[in-house]
Amino acid sequence: MGRYVYKLPDIGEGIAEAEIVKWHVEPGAAITQDQPLVDVMTDKATVEIAAPVSGTLSERHGKEGQKLAVGAALAVFETEGAAEAPQQQAPAQRQEEQRASPPHSVKCLAAPAVRARARRLALDLATLSGSGPEGRILHEDLDGLLTSRASRPEAAQPKAPEDVEEIQLFGLRRRIAERMQESKRRIPHFTYVEEVDVEDLERERARRNAGNGAHLTLLPFLIRALVMAIAEHPEVNCHFDDEAGKIRRFRPVHVGIATQTERGLLVPVIHHAERLDAEEIAAEIQRLSTAARAGKSAREELTGSTITVTSLGSLGGIAATPIINPPEVAIVGVNRIREKLVLRDGEVQARKVMNLSSSFDHRIVDGFVAAAFIAALKQAMEAPLSL
């Protein structure tokens, strides 16, 4: 008999650790080479690791929800023959947001959450044809099967055991929660809200869209105004290393764009926004947000921001208290555009207005500086030809 220690492999994403999501084999059970062993999750993908050898699983290292470092012992197998085991192979991969390598054998591709739901509903995934990439089974496919069953009165309907669903935070969702908690714990936030008249800006945006057939949103103009305001108030375009007690002020403006994806909130970065005009910024926003939602962002596209913009578009509400993306010291929040009666040039007029809800790290940005920065941003947005 041989003893084979299998170490957590480098999954090829430049990661240092991964989180145990689901063990597929219990200790003491027989397992064959390439049989699914465990699902692990990184910040960007769920990966299915297959058994590298045939034998008996004698030890498992790491509980579900626990993180292991790359290179740490993951499992121990008792194998037939000599103790020298075959060279460790790269695992078969099943990724939720990126294209996976072809599995060694035919099996259903589905995220752990989809598999868990299917088990609760007593649904056999092997009977389904997935509508996702490479035939991946999605929640929508389960919904479709349940809908078709509901249309047949004679079919027995499986019932969920309870009305409450417990969801364990894993991977990126848990990392987001940890970062937000750390940001609020360490950074003394203060939020400053200012109203901006965007009537002229909206008129100019509509004119340019009609003229060149483009679809410029408000965001590219806001970023152009942000660049202009930072030129006057560079104090907000910096990082604060509170452990080293150092401020790193940046000349270039690298704008993070908070983007909602199925995996949670990601912040792709427009690097050197100061070099781009509104159309170029719009194209970059489209490219980066599309890649982020598809899970195909390069690492450098998600790092290096010096200030962040967050917007909920038409759902933006009247005001908000955005949370700073550390180690940055400022975040600008965009609220919903609405019509409002205002007194202008001695007359009551209906104007389009919008609030900017921005948060600052009060350790670095004083209230006066924050107010002056937002005033400069407001002035630039209310003079759209300057953008």
| 239 noted as active-site residue | no
CA angle at residue 186 from 185 to 189, to 5 degrees? 85
- CA 328 to CA 326: how far, in whole Å? 5
- CA 253 to CA 263: how far, in whole Å? 27
- Which stretches does DSSP call E strand in 211-295? 238-241, 246-249, 255-257, 259-261, 264-266, 269-270
CA angle at residue 98 from 122 to 73, to 5 degrees? 80
- CA 307 to CA 326: how far, in whole Å? 9
Which candidate in 24, 139, 239, 362 is catalytic?
Answer: 362
| 366 noted as active-site residue | yes
- CA 184 to CA 349: how far, in whole Å? 41
- Provide the CA 109 distance to its chain's centre, in angstroms: 22
Q: Which residues contact 14 (CB under 8 A, 6 or more apart)?
A: 299
Q: CA–CA distance from 295 to each of 282, 356, 378 (Å)?
A: 20, 29, 34
Residues serving a catalytic function are 362, 366
